[in-house]
Amino acid sequence: MTDHPYVGLWVTADGHIRHELLPRGRYVEARGSRERAYTGRYTVTGTHIDYVDDTGFSADGDFVDADTLHHAGMVLTRRAEKENT
């Protein structure tokens, strides 16, 4: 499951939403100044991602190419490394 090309940091154009997909199927979502607004697990099947946060809320998205993720009406793009925004 963890052997996929999408591990890393994904960010909206305004930098407000940041998803860090960790190698072992965990993620951390930052929103604005809240660096750990949500945490949970994810699974990737092909180009589809399913999220389940630690409270049980679920969401999903699709990688449209190697650097673009469509998730919950948002477009996130890959960032080379974790940055503070």
Tell me: pLDDT of 2 over 70.
Answer: no
Instruction: Tell me: pLDDT of 84 over 60.
Output: no
The pLDDT of residue 81 is 61
pLDDT tens digits, residue range 14-58? 999 999 999 999 999 999 999 999 999 999 999 999 999 999 999
- The average pLDDT across 58-65 equals 97
Buried b (16+ CB within 10 A) or exposed e, 8-18: bbbbbeeeebb
